[in-house]
Structure 1
Amino acid sequence: MALNYIWIGFFLVAFVVGLLRVIGYYYRDFFAETFQVIFNETDLFIFRDMFQSTFDMAETSVSIAITLIGVMTLWLGIMNIAEKGGAVGILSRLVNPFFGKLFPGIPKNHPAFGSMMMNISANMLSLDNAATPLGIKAMEELQEINPDKETASNAQIMFLVLNTSGLTVIPVTVMAYRTAEGAANPADIFIPILLATFFSTLAGLIAVAIKQKINLFDKTILAYLGGGTFLVAGIIYLLSQMDQKRLEVVTTFASTFIIMGVITSFIILGIRSKINIYETFIDGAKEGFKVAVMIIPYLVAMLVGIGVFRASGAMDLVISLLAELFGLLGINTDFVPALPTAFMKPLSGSGARGLMIETMQNYGADSFVGRLASTFQGSTETTFYTLAVYYGAVNIKKTRYTVGAGLIADLAGVVAAIFICYLFFYH
């Protein structure tokens, strides 16, 4: 139901903003004198741009789905090897004490535990192409034990929020873009992203746990969270001791080595279990095409709504109003130019990436704003895209409080990123 209202809101708000821009153009002298707001000829053609965005985003949706066909075919095949070879079972047993407390509705040692862990691990390594099919696989397994096939279960909501909060250990992609834009130290946003995503994940976990009445003071949960916090602190300490070049080499090597090591381990376990590796891969890969095609309507719906909203100028209007509000409150507004990236990321990953690059080009990759935009890009998730894809893959229509909890996690990540970047980069 929440997605329904949000989707309607995209179009209604976009139409009203577009109409106001056209009216403003025809009465531009009045608005310029009275409100110091300037309208120009581009405002007259705003509905043309909004209409064109519907076609552009529909085409983008299909392009994304086509790209996903190959990726999902690959990873669903690999996951089938992992499941048949026993790797998923091993992962399930490793995380079962912790996940068993967070997901009390899932039977002990259920395969979904292993799939969820694989998805979260891929997100930690910034391997988005691998994370999506792994996440869809987890959603399908959770859907099998969902009593109401059209309504998101507690377990699916918890998983989606943990997914969209996106704890990132190695932000390889963001560092690559910073390198391309000439950053002196492309890896200097590593610790801010790690810290921001940690707080984002923690906020999402707490929000859902409160709603689902999960006891976060359980000794098992505290032990795992404490261990995770200690591990994150250790990673931060070790990598902070490295110079720029060594850090880039280590993080790039670690992300690629770990994922290739995981694939190789799955194959070795499959050999040990005496399964036909090739045939098992093919059997799992066959599902990739079907799932990728199934999510096209959901992608088109969400991305077209986002495209119209952005083309109308509503996003820019929100940013301007926030800048005015912060200024009136006496808050330092130096962070405002980076906010478009933060606001766009929950809506569109490619849109946020473009805004991040644009910010670095306009302000400099090593400027406070450039670094903050990079941190936003690495520490927030494409919440609405993820919900559309994951829930669309299993035909969930009633998402309950998923959107609210996901946005709480996103907001926590944004606020944490601002404070952390002020601490690290503001001079």
Structure 2
Amino acid sequence: MSWNFSTEPEFEKKLEWMRTFVREEIMPLEVADLSPEAFTQVSDGLKQQVKDQGLWAAHLEPELGGGGFGQLKLGLMHEILGASVFAPSIFGNNAPDSGNAELLAIAANEEQKEKWMKPLLAGELRSCFSMTEPGAGADPTMLTTRAVREGDEYVINGHKWFSSNGSHADFFIVMVVTDPDAEAHERASMIIVPRDTPGVNVLRDIPVMGLSHAAGDKGHAEILYQDVRVPAANLVGEEGQGFMLAQKRLGPGRIHHAMRWLGQGRRAFDMMCERVVTREVKGSTLSQKQMIQDMVATSKAELEAARLLTLQAAWKMDQGGTKAALTDIAIIKFWGAQVLFNVIDRAIQVHGSLGITGDLPLEEMYRNARSARIYDGPDEVHKVTVARRVLRGYEPHPVPSEHIPTRTEEAQKKFAQYLEAAS
């Protein structure tokens, strides 16, 4: 199979505009001392510029208010957006809203799209994806939050946490068990729950490593759903489709995460390289020290490998959908997160004590990078997925097999003759 990651010149111009815009207009906001009101005013102006370029909410099809770029182009865009924590929200691609919009585009009916998806795309509403539970960990088949059908309503009871943006969301997409007796991956469904529904109790924002209070990152809420009644019409898709829809939502999301990690990693890499060609130690710059050269070379190789793996996953998804790229998506989730962590760690090391101060963005980037190896499923889960899918293509073989050449009787005789002649 061959791959083609090329894009047309017109799109390359869009990417170049994005690079300049993020560097010159968005990055300065990281150190600007603005009130929330002033920040909103500035960011609204920047969002309008993005819309004028036709780059707002690029993850959806044009008829839904997006750019219809496909996963490969989206990946290249997210690589640029990853350089700044403010960029995704200014481009209308911040999590969890972007993933929720994609989910609603796939599975919502027309009434749900009008009421929830379109205002979400327009930036008029905020959303929350409420799936993770304290007892279930990384195994969604262990979810216990229940939704019981009573007439024209569902009654929801359960305990969720790490519901990103839960404290500020206008509505929640809640993963619930609708049929506890069904097969493991057919037990759950997704239901839209408006925030003001009685029984929705947002207990707190969980204090977590790497939380940035920048635009688009509003915390990870712990929520109790107690006798929450919502119309049965709020069911997304059909009963039992929860796991299937979650995979459709998380697949593109993981590609976007991995490409944003590359943008963040590239920024840390650039900072490291600028430091090593500037800092002098014992008569020469750090760039002339072999240990530092090893850090630079290894970081460059890891970033390029992660980039190619991610683009390959995006290309496969464009060609055959999420199912065609499942192994690749799992690979980039654990490999990309580890590469991000590695590169930022080395960048901090070459900056010395300056690297662990708040005067540089590296220490916050480091905390975010560490948490990346846990959210959207810990690395170990994705490694298990990759190994299982790879090993399906192999069967037990007694020795000898076609992959283990062995000496035939004739070859053994010739070998013995050789040894005799040599002695």
TM-score normalised by L of structure 2: 0.26
* Structure with the largest fraction of strand: 2
Higher relative contact order (CA 8 A, sep 6+): 1
Bigger radius of gyration: 2
